[in-house]
Amino acid sequence: GLVQPSARSEAGYRLYGEPDFLRLQQVLTLRCLGFPLRRIRDVLDSEDFDVAASLHVQRVALRERIEELQRIESAIKGALDAQERSGVWDWDQVLTAAAAAGNSRGNIMERYYTPEQMAQFAELRAETPPEEIEAVEREWSALLADVRASHGLDPASAEAKALVARWDGLQERTVAHFTGKPGLIEAIGRNYEAGSFEGMDRAPQAEDFAFIQRVRERSAP
């Protein structure tokens, strides 16, 4: 198992010490966060594993997971309330509830990143002021909406060039927060290249990248 007793009594009973209980807590919490047992073993047995740092990261991750579950619960409640009022299912509400569950950060992270990378993402969110995270996410949402509404623009137009300038500035602002975590940038890039985020409205899509590239090519000397 992942938690072994420190010793055994003369009668053969397993004896657990404080380090064993700390390890048990780590195992149970990481399982709650969705990590598979094999990956938990790798994390706990790594030479640079730090219990205090791990607990801090887990706390941040759990807070985020609670917020996600509250959003999912709210979407489900909306579907149920609509059905109770009208007697029929509002399929838009049902689909909203399904999308909230399927697109939760936890599901996406577990699908495309290792536990070590997920821990780094949690550290990154803990290190970044909440208002900065909200501002960057809000600006990306607005920019992506504008880019998608402009796919048909002339790439040589001033409007298209302004969108690329916004894209570059926001990308630089976002990447600046990843200083010291180059592996995360590489992992994100690999997932984009593999098309892992296709169909996710909150993430840039292939058509968005293609539009930005067309504008760059037309702007090149």
Q: Is 87 helix (H, G, I), strand (E, B) or coil?
A: coil
| pLDDT tens for the chain, residues 1 to 221 | 677 777 777 777 777 777 778 778 777 877 776 676 777 777 777 766 666 666 666 676 677 778 778 887 888 888 888 888 888 877 777 776 666 665 555 555 666 777 777 778 877 877 888 889 889 989 999 999 999 999 999 999 999 999 999 999 999 999 998 888 888 888 888 888 888 778 777 789 999 999 999 999 998 76
What is the residue-wise DSSP string for 164-205? HHHHHHHHHHHHHTTTT-HHHHHHHHHHHHTTTTTT-TTS--
Bridge partner list, 15: 7
Rounded Cα distance, 100 and 72, in Å: 5
Cβ(87)–Cβ(62) below 8 Å: no
From CA 56, how far away is CA 48, in angstroms rounded? Answer: 15
pTM of model > 0.75 = no
